[in-house]
Amino acid sequence: MKFRSSHVLILAAVAALGAGPAAAQFKPTKPVEFITHTGPGGGGDVIARAIAQIIDKNNLSPVRYQVANKTGGGGLTAMSYVVNEKKGDDHAIAVFTGNWTTNPLVRKEAKVTIKDMTPIVRLVLEPALIVVKADSKYKTLKEVVDAAKANPGQVKQSGGSLTSRDNVVRQLLMKNSGANWAFISFPGGGERIAALLGGHVDMMIIEPQEAGEHIKAGNMRVIAQVNDSRLPAFANVPTLKEAGFDVPNVPQVRGIVAPPGISPAVVSYYEDVFAKMVKTPEWQKYLADNYFQDGFMKSAELAKFFDEFIGTMRNILKDTGAKVVR
Amino acid sequence: MDSFGYLMQGFAVALTPYNLLWCFIGVFLGTVIGVLPGLGPAATIAMLLPLTFQMNPTSAVIMLAGIYYGSKYGGSTTSILLNVPGESASVVTCFDGYQMARQGRAGAALGIAAIASFVAGTVGVVGLMLVAPPLARFALSFSSPEYFALMALGLAMVVLLAGRSMIKALLSMLVGLWIAGMGTDLFSDASRFTFGHAELLDGVDFVIVAIGVFALGEVFGNLEKREGAQILPVPKGLRNLMPTWQDLKDCRFAFLNGSLVGFVIGVLPGAGSTIASFISYGIEKALSKHPEKFGTGVPEGVAAPEGANNAETGGAMVPLLTLGIPGSGTTAILLAAFILWGLRPGPLMIQDNPTLFWGLVASMYVGNVMLLILNLPLVPLFAQILRLPAYALFPFIFGISIVGVYSVSGSLFDTWMLTLFGLLGYAMRKLDYPAAPLILGLVLGDSMERALRQSLMMSQGDLSILVARPLSATMLFLAVLILLSPLVRKANALRVRALEEGS
Amino acid sequence: MNLLRSGEVMSGAVLAALGIYVILEARQWEYLGADGPGPGFFPLWYGIALVVLSAALIVMHLRDAAPAPAAPAERGGQGRALAAWMGLVACVALLKPLGFLIAFGLFSLFLVRVLYRQPLGRALAVAVGGTLGFYLLFDVALNVSLPRGILGF
């Protein structure tokens, strides 16, 4: 029979009625698997546990969030687990860090990327501090860079792997200033700090909450911060731009993603949970204690952010000489 | 208030019934975890973290610390009875511990392990209490050249583990170095020997190799025999169920050696209990009056490494509590726990939280006593496991190996690796290649390469940095001495023979 | 020929081959970078050491006037051990489809019944008892997850 506009309207109304309540009605019925790529005690693990604790305390979820550590390959194991083994699972989400976006760019063993996952929310941006030993002869970043220009390769920085943020910032600064200084990789944060405090390297780039106590105790001095604007706790410390180095900011990003193949209703549900969580006083305190910046973004925005961020990082990594494979 | 006063206050905290209970729970759990291969204190502490949010931090850290040093007690059990290292640090205990069990002295071995652990654990706590801050500063002076020298010293120990054929020992060690090199290179992000598998990007987990080569190698070797009878004699009589006074006397030096070496190495972030137990074993053998007996079942061969891996826990707490720097994987989780509880470990922690620090220290004394009381009576009980006939015991060992390996990372890939290393272990047995050097190479290879490259990066290619400082120069010198010692001995033997023939 | 049966020669050859493989791989990576030794440095050297030492092993073995008498090998023995190994491989292969409990149960049965020639009743007792024990100890008491198969346990 002929389709008349009234038929279409009725059909649309029925569809909306049918889909509406059902779409809003996802509720988890068993514990949610909260995946992280670090081992117990590592960055992703700590934030996952903090989140789980806050959600639990504020009764934001009818079920438990169970942290699952899937370590290996610098995040690749966890990513592969999310995309392949948890496909379509409504009860699995994961904490992503900046690593999840950049690691696949340089590792040909990576079989999945973050674009294969469903973005949920972005939570925090983490700035960094450039620190020297408290009794170091360098008082400003400019002095360090000048010393490096005068003696190429003799100034030393301790840090993580070549694709870590420490090295990315170093490469950007070196390119900007024409200076050249050595980068000494240590596998663990503890060793990097020990190298600095022992006077074996001249500086390091460190996350504020790792450095906090050492600064308070007077063992470390902050000479610059890697941030767009000054952190309140470090109001006297210039940002990179203020210190005279016009380089792009490289924040460490953390947020939540979910496996592919889940319905929009599920995405909305988790978006809401986290939207509520970031308003709680416990979360605000967590941000303040750890010097995180609130970078809350919902799913659609996050998807766009991923595209931009991956593009930017690809260019930066190429500039640093890393072998970019995708 | 002076340290003693604080310590008394600490005891007041540690000895409350509530904290005693949590201490007991911690050490008990730790012992069980230690006995089971694969499952380690790090994972257990992580699992229990959420439960601790309801508790006050002092009690929580008492319990978690109990798990940590408790696991070192348990680790020796399966090493001695089944040649299955319960924990990576217990590998060295297998060398003489299992041999003692084969001679029917399993009980004595277990007892020595427990006592050595107690002595070392206590020394570790005393060290933590008395010399923590200056020792932490000492640890900071340790940099890559010193680490390289330390690892080189450790590798030089291969000479002492060689047995009949030095060439085979060296080859075994080289294979260990190769396996250690598998994975992502830290400095250049190159993937080495991963054969295209993403699972190998982090290399092979030590536990898989240790269980495969030691435990499964042994099992396959035993499976050649037809009888399903008991593989190991059950210790009969108190003499074999417990260490004798003579045993304890023989181990006097080993107790001291293990405690000191373990504690000092534990303080260094980046050097762990495995290397501590190897070096302690090496020193014990080098300074012994009967070095050739090591590896055949001498009590000192059990006491030294067991002491070392226990004292290491005390040592690892030093940088954690005085500097906020984790000295090992497990202390990294403890650090995370502190942060989650709202505490901030760092140079100011002892000042800001004396109750917590001294309560913890006091509880570690108490915990070690509890562990001794727990473990000694359990020795005869555990020894009864040996009553099981081979056909019941071996499936158990296979099962526990698979579960242990799987529990490390939840990956079936690792279980496949286990089968490969089991075959390797069997082949090595048949062809008379010693397994200890392989483990040594595996444990040290990675760290040594890293330390060398870091050193050369710091000195911009100048090799002299390795001997420029007194500590590293001394250790390297010792390493060279040890490496040359078999040649010296051979030269001496030749000289003696020449003299005899000449006269 | 006796040479091939000799353990030293065989293992020496295998290790030498490994050494050569390592050297070839090492050549793909940087030997000496701008900052210091690259990823190819160490592997090249221990690859060389592997080749040199295994060659030395073979040479010394060939030179030995009277090679040490091989321990009287129970001919059946090696076969048994290898059969057990294959059983282990099968068990691991079955972990994914059948889960640990069943795979392990079957493996235990194989070990006790076939390799140790124990009566069926005893074999079943060990297999079932062991499997149950593992289940209770790990899954229930310690909450350690055992590999699960398609049957869900």
User: Where are chain B's structural domains?
Assistant: 3-502
pLDDT at position B268:
86
Residues A267 and A190 in one domain: no
CATH number of the structural domain spanning residue A258: 3.40.190.150
Q: Is the pLDDT of residue B446 over 80?
A: yes
Q: What is the DSSP letter of B293?
A: G
Is A67 within a domain?
Answer: yes
pLDDT one-digit tens code per residue, B81-134: 888 887 777 888 988 898 888 888 888 888 888 889 889 988 888 888 888 878
Mutual angle of helices B41-52 and B17-35, in 10-degree steps:
150
For chain C, how far is it from start to end, CA to CA, in angstroms? 51
User: What average pLDDT does this structure show over B51-63?
Assistant: 84
Q: Which chains touch A (3+ CB pairs under 8 A)?
A: B, C
Residues A142 and A227 in one domain: yes
User: What average pLDDT does this structure show over C69-84?
Assistant: 71
Is A226 within a domain?
Answer: yes
Q: Is the pLDDT of residue B331 over 60?
A: yes
Residues A144 and A230 in one domain: yes
Which of B167, B171, B449 should one mutate to test binding to chain C, selecting the residue with the greatest count of C CBs within 10 A?
B171
- Starting at the edge strand found earlier in the chain, the sheet holding A220-226 runs A182-185, A156-159, A203-206, A128-133, A220-226
Q: Is the pLDDT of residue B499 over 90?
A: no
Secondary structure tally for chain C: helices H, strands E: 5, 0
* Share above pLDDT 70 across residues of chain A, in percent, rounded to a whole number: 91
Mutual angle of helices C75-109 and C120-134, in 10-degree steps:
60
> What rounded mean pLDDT belongs to chain B?
83
Cα dihedral across residues A110, A115, A119, A124: positive or negative: positive
Backbone angles phi, psi at B368, to 5 degrees: -65, -40
Residues A111 and A55 in one domain: yes
Is B202 in contact with A73 (Cβ distance < 8 A)? yes
Residues A257 and A122 in one domain: yes
pLDDT one-digit tens code per residue, C128-148: 888 888 888 777 766 666 777
Q: Closest Cα partner for A241 from A231, A254, A226?
A: A226
Rounded Cα distance between B17 and B25, Å, is: 12
Give C2's pLDDT tier (boundaries 50, 70, 90).
Answer: low
Residues A102 and A149 in one domain: no
Residues A199 and A139 in one domain: yes
The H-assigned helical ranges of chain A are 5-23, 43-57, 76-80, 98-106, 141-150, 165-177, 189-197, 208-216, 264-277, 281-290, 299-320
* Among the partner residues B327, B409, B454, nearest to A72 by beta-carbon distance: B409
Is A141 within a domain?
Answer: yes
How many domains, in total, are found in chain A? 2
Q: Which residues of B are less than 8 Å from C126 in CB distance?
A: 391-392, 395
Q: Which residues on neighbouring strands pair with residue A255, listed in sequence order?
A: A96, A122
Task: Chain B: give the shortest CA distance to residue A40, in Å.
Answer: 5
CB pairs under 8 A between A and B: 157
Residues A264 and A116 in one domain: yes
Helix (H, G, I), strand (E, B) or coil at A95: strand
Contact B299, B247 (CB under 8 A): yes
Q: Which of residues 35-74 of C touch A (CB under 8 A)?
A: 35
Determine the longest span between alpha carbons in chain C, in angstroms. Answer: 69
Query: Whole-prediction pTM value?
Result: 0.82
Residues A116 and A256 in one domain: yes
Helix (H) or strand (E) holding C89: helix C75-109
All residues at 6 or more sequence positions from B335 whose CB lies less than 8 Å from its CB, including other chains:
A41, B320, B324, B326, B345
Residues A191 and A165 in one domain: yes
Contact C7, B431 (CB under 8 A): yes
Is B402 in contact with C92 (Cβ distance < 8 A)? yes
User: What average pLDDT does this structure show over B251-261?
Assistant: 90
Secondary structure tally for chain A: helices H, strands E: 11, 11
Does the CB of A111 have a partner CB in chain B at under 8 Å?
A: yes
Residues A169 and A227 in one domain: yes
* Among the partner residues B185, B224, B427, nearest to C74 by beta-carbon distance: B224
Give A18's pLDDT tier (boundaries 50, 70, 90).
Answer: very low
Task: Chain A: give the shortest CA distance to residue C138, in Å.
Answer: 18
Task: Chain B: give the shortest CA distance to residue A254, in Å.
Answer: 18
Rg of chain C over Cα atoms, rounded to whole angstroms, equals 24
pLDDT at position A22:
45
Range of the domain at A175: 134-234
Which of C35, C144, C145 should one mutate to test binding to chain A, selecting the residue with the greatest count of A CBs within 10 A?
C35
User: What average pLDDT does this structure show over B475-501?
Assistant: 80
Contact A189, A93 (CB under 8 A): no
Does the CB of A162 have a partner CB in chain C at under 8 Å?
A: no
C-alpha torsion B87→B89→B94→B96, nearest 10? -150
User: What average pLDDT does this structure show over A242-256?
Assistant: 88
Residues A206 and A260 in one domain: no
| Structure tokens given for B226 | 């037809």
The H-assigned helical ranges of B341-459 are 349-352, 354-383, 390-409, 412-430, 436-458
* Among the partner residues B221, B412, B419, nearest to C88 by beta-carbon distance: B419
pLDDT at position A23:
46
Task: Chain B: give the shortest CA distance to residue A322, in Å.
Answer: 9
pLDDT at position B290:
83
Which of A34, A71, A77, A202 should one mutate to test binding to chain B, selecting the residue with the greatest count of B CBs within 10 A?
A77
CATH number of the structural domain spanning residue A154: 3.40.190.10
Give A21's pLDDT tier (boundaries 50, 70, 90).
Answer: very low
* Among the partner residues C25, C46, C85, nearest to B174 by beta-carbon distance: C46
Is B171 in contact with C15 (Cβ distance < 8 A)? yes
Q: Is the pLDDT of residue B184 over 90?
A: no
Rg of chain B over Cα atoms, rounded to whole angstroms, equals 22
Least confident interval from A227-231, B34-38, B303-307: B34-38
Give A19's pLDDT tier (boundaries 50, 70, 90).
Answer: very low
- CA distances to A69, B123, B159, B303, B334 from B41, rounded to whole Å, are 15, 21, 32, 22, 11
pLDDT at position A5:
56
Give B178's pLDDT tier (boundaries 50, 70, 90).
Answer: very high
